Amino acid sequence: MTQPPVDKMVVVVHGTFASKALWWRWPSPFTQYLDSLSGGTVYKGTDFFTWRARDYDKDRRAGAKDLAAWVQMHPARDLTIVAHSHGGNVVMIATRHGVKMNRLILLGTPIRTDYTPDLRNVDVLHNVYSFGDLTQTPTGTAPHCRGEGRTLGDSAKVINHLAQNGFIGPGHTELHDVNVWTANHFDQLVS
């Protein structure tokens, strides 16, 4: 049953092999942090969005269709999606299925040409990447890599943000760490 539209909602989408992880579910420290930045708008329901999260193209594409159905059942006038790893590719594919959002924040998403988003359905896309992220590399995006597999082309709608933390930057799972967000002023991406 479709819920009535809310004014604003933030949804967190996990990456590969993370469907059972807790960091992306309410009330983890990361989701509580996002909630504090967004004025209490992180989705807190028990029917949260999750996808199969195996490292297969077919699972990402099925996840995108499932996300389109989930968003239709949970409408928001102002939707922000924060997606980690291949969860970002699930969301980018979902834009091709008509999912519209105000903000899409990608965290360590392997950038692939076969998952290019429909930017007509995204007001602004923030792509957070790190040179310390050894998962988001050309090898991780083969055979469809775009450039080095870390960044999208900057434009009026797409902004790349280099995460820094120490000498080479945070690792793949650190991109959803509150301390990394605070140190890099990523709070501005949500609020």
For 25-47, write each residue's pLDDT tens digit: 999 999 999 999 999 999 999 99
Give the residue-averaged pLDDT of 121-148: 80
Are the C-beta atoms of 187 and 102 separated by less than 8 Å?
no
For residue 143, name the pLDDT band (cuts at 50, 70, 90). Answer: low
The predicted pLDDT at position 149 comes to 75
Are the C-beta atoms of 174 and 165 separated by less than 8 Å?
yes
CATH numbers and ranges of domains, the chain:
6-190 (3.40.50.1820)
Residue bearing tokens 């539209």? 5
DSSP 190: H
Percent of the chain with pLDDT over 70: 94
The predicted pLDDT at position 1 comes to 76
For residue 150, name the pLDDT band (cuts at 50, 70, 90). Answer: confident
* Position with higher pLDDT, 151 vs 32: 32
d(CA 71, CA 79): 9
For residue 142, name the pLDDT band (cuts at 50, 70, 90). Answer: low
